[in-house]
Amino acid sequence: MNLKINQPAPDFITRDIWGNTVQLSQLREQKVLLTFYRHVACPVNHLRFQELRTYEKEFCKKKLAVLAVYESSKDNLLRYSEDENYYARLIANPEFDLYEKYDIELNTLKLLFSMYNGGPAKAAEGLKLMKHRFKAEGHNNLMGGDFLIGEDGLLKQVYYNQFLGDHLPTKEILAFINDPDYKVIGSSTCCD
């Protein structure tokens, strides 16, 4: 069952790939972007991650905590991030428990639907940006999701990807960090 806006964000405690403890409830008093990706071999996810990187200075200035969860192993995420200084905290979750806690779905039909929603073009663009190549890890039909969590620990936006390459629009993330009266209008799972 999908999570809903204004319910408490399910808490978790884990470690990022550098060994630092990450506990969601310890980030109260701070806005959080919790984003779920497939594995680091996915060029479409890499394209999205690089898109979000263009906003790192603004995220930092507004003290937005960015937690990026991958189904990949810690070793592959460390290789993925070598020689980089990412603002986002990368979390390896090959155990898949965080995905289950946030109801991230496995859906082959939606994966196939990606072919008609720019998936191949996004994959080609993302592939050009990748420094390393990786073997796919985990579920091939994993869809992602993006969650905006307020300082009060409540979900302010819940966005389940409808196809590969579908994400919460960055303009929505920017509105969340810049508007103290941020409110979601419309469905939280629809496409742009």
What is the predicted pLDDT for the residue at 192?
A: 37
The model's pLDDT over 135-168, given as tens digits with 9 standing for 90+, comes to 889 999 999 999 999 999 999 999 999 999 999 9
Q: What's the rounded Cα separation, in Å, for the pair 54 and 75?
A: 25
The model's pLDDT over 12-34, given as tens digits with 9 standing for 90+, comes to 999 999 999 999 999 988 999 99
What is the predicted pLDDT for the residue at 185?
A: 62
**Domain residue ranges of the chain, discontinuous segments joined by +:** 13-178
Query: Mean pLDDT, to the nearest integer, of 159-182?
Result: 94
What is the predicted pLDDT for the residue at 189?
A: 47
The model's pLDDT over 46-77, given as tens digits with 9 standing for 90+, comes to 999 999 999 999 999 999 999 999 999 999 99
Q: Which two tokens stand for residue 160?
A: 């389940």
- Whether the model clears a pTM of 0.85, i.e. scores above it, the answer is yes
Confidence band, pLDDT 50/70/90 cuts, at residue 172: very high
Q: Which two tokens stand for residue 49?
A: 């991650």
Spacing of C-alpha 118 from chain mean position: 19
Q: Which three-class secondary structure string do you get for 49-105?
A: HHHHHCCHHHHHHCCCEEEEEECCCHHHHHHHCCCCCCCCEEEECCCCHHHHHCCCC
CB 170 within 8 A of CB 146: no
| Strand boundaries in 111-167, DSSP class E | 145-149, 155-160
Q: What is the mean pLDDT of the chain?
A: 91
Q: What's the rounded Cα separation, in Å, for the pair 192 and 189?
A: 10
- Record: fold of 13-178: Glutaredoxin (3.40.30)
Confidence band, pLDDT 50/70/90 cuts, at residue 184: confident
Q: Is 35 helix (H, G, I), strand (E, B) or coil?
A: strand
What is the predicted pLDDT for the residue at 191?
A: 40
Strands 145-149 and 21-23: unpaired
What is the predicted pLDDT for the residue at 190?
A: 44
Query: Max CA-CA distance within the chain?
Result: 43
Confidence band, pLDDT 50/70/90 cuts, at residue 187: very low
